[in-house]
């Protein structure tokens, strides 16, 4: 899509394998100075994601938003309203850069993402209304609304799909959480079909990878360190491919539905002793997306390698997960904890983000 035939660049080869590379970052500066456009042309980037942490860092580190904040303060907007206007402005501009990919892929690729307020992670009804309002206000076809895959978020995901709002399901850690998100998406599509509505409402399911390995590092023998996140990704990929091959999805595909693509998130390496492209190389897989922070994206573009890709059956994931369990790690309990901690971390970033806006106001 972005590369010439026989392009040997690592990022182009990964794209040829069938995996999309999305940037896990956005700033007004990278839009203005051409950095994002350069990543699209030279590093095969076909989408991007944002979250409160990304925007907290962007606003704190740059004066590029100051004039816009001052203008919005003049209209007596709250800090939250100011943020959503700023983010929507950035994301509309980014979405226009990805529009050719979006159209060429029939809506499967070329997306940007905006997260609903993290304060709503456990509030189903308000999450639904917020997602619908923010998406309509943005007026951008290739914009996902990010909704957490918490138990309270799952009904909101289904209702958003029924309402025609594209959803990036975030904060998924376990395979069970992924399957619950997939079920919410499928139910939403089936309800649209039953209602005589177009079922062509897109979604991705974001599975967090590297966060598994930091809290388990000191509890595992060396040969199992930095293996848990990859094994979770492998097992989820097997579940995803099984779903794509199911009779249920075949029926939906006959109505024109697109798959809810599995997205590998949090794939920057946190262990300084490990390869800086560990998770990208190990999770190369057709029909998926990998979102990378700038540093990891450029590292992979420089010295990454691409192999045959993940096995649709999950490879040796079950054996690895068994060994990690035998080593004393309660994987289901850790997955639930990571989801709660992830939601709490986004709340903290949200408060910090609003505080930065208030200070600039």
- Residue 174 CA to residue 201 CA, distance in Å, equals 24
3-state secondary structure of 34: coil
Can you say how many angstroms the Cα of residue 75 is from the centroid of all Cα atoms in its chain? 33
Q: Express each pLDDT in 14-54 by its tens digit.
A: 999 999 999 999 999 999 999 999 999 999 999 999 999 99
Cα angle 204, 206, 212; round to 5: 165
Cα angle 72, 166, 79; round to 5: 20
- Phi/psi for 207 (5° steps) reads -100, 120
Q: What is the pLDDT of residue 1?
A: 46
Q: Which residues are catalytic?
A: 146
pTM for this prediction: 0.95
Ordered by where they begin, the domains of the chain are 10-360 (3.20.20.70)
Q: Express each pLDDT in 232-255 by its tens digit.
A: 999 999 999 999 999 999 999 999
Residue 2 has pLDDT above 90, yes or no: no
Q: What is the pLDDT of residue 264?
A: 98
Structure tokens at 43: 């590093």
Residue 133 has pLDDT above 70, yes or no: yes
Asked if 264 and 289 count as a contact pair (C-beta separation under 8 A), the reply is yes
Residue with tokens 């850069």: 97
Q: Half-sphere exposure of residue 64, counting CA atoms within 13 Å on the CB side?
A: 18
Structure tokens at 42: 């030279």
Contacts of 233 (CB under 8 A, 6+ apart): 207, 209, 264, 279, 282, 283, 310
Contacts of 200 (CB under 8 A, 6+ apart): 107, 256, 257, 258
- Residue 132 CA to residue 20 CA, distance in Å, equals 26
């Amino acid at each position: 899509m972005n590369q010439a035939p026989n392009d040997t660049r690592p990022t182009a080869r990964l794209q040829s394998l069938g995996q999309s590379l999305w940037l896990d970052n956005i700033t007004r500066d990278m839009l203005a100075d051409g950095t994002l456009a350069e990543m699209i042309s030279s590093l095969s980037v076909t989408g991007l994601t944002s979250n409160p942490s990304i925007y907290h860092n962007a606003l704190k580190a740059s004066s590029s938003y100051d004039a816009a904040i001052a203008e919005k303060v003049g209209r007596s907007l709250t800090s939250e309203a100011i943020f959503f206007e700023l983010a929507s402005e950035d994301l509309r501009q980014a979405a226009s850069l990805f529009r050719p990919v979006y159209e060429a892929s029939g809506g499967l690729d070329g997306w940007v993402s905006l997260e609903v307020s993290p304060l709503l992670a456990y509030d189903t009804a308000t999450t639904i209304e917020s997602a619908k309002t923010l998406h309509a206000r943005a007026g951008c076809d290739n914009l996902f609304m990010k909704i957490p895959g918490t138990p309270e978020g799952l009904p909101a995901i289904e209702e958003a799909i029924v309402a025609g709002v594209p959803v990036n399901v975030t904060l998924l850690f376990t395979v069970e959480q992924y399957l619950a998100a997939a079920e919410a998406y499928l139910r939403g599509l089936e309800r649209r079909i039953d209602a005589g509505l177009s079922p062509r409402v897109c979604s991705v399911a974001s599975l967090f990878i590297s966060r598994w390995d930091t809290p388990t590092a000191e509890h595992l023998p060396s040969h199992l360190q930095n293996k848990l996140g990859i094994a979770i990704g492998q097992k989820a990929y097997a579940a995803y491919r099984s779903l794509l091959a199911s009779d249920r999805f075949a029926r939906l595909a006959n109505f024109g539905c697109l798959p809810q693509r599995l997205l590998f998130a949090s794939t920057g390496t946190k262990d300084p002793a490990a390869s800086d492209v560990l998770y990208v190389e190990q999770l190369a897989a057709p029909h998926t997306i990998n979102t990378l922070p700038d540093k990891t994206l450029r590292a992979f573009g420089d010295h990454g390698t691409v192999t045959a890709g993940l096995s649709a059956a999950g490879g040796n994931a079950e054996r690895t997960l068994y060994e990690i369990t035998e080593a004393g790690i309660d994987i289901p309990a850790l997955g639930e904890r990571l989801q709660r901690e992830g939601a709490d971390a986004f709340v903290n970033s949200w408060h910090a983000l609003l505080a930065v806006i208030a200070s600039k106001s």
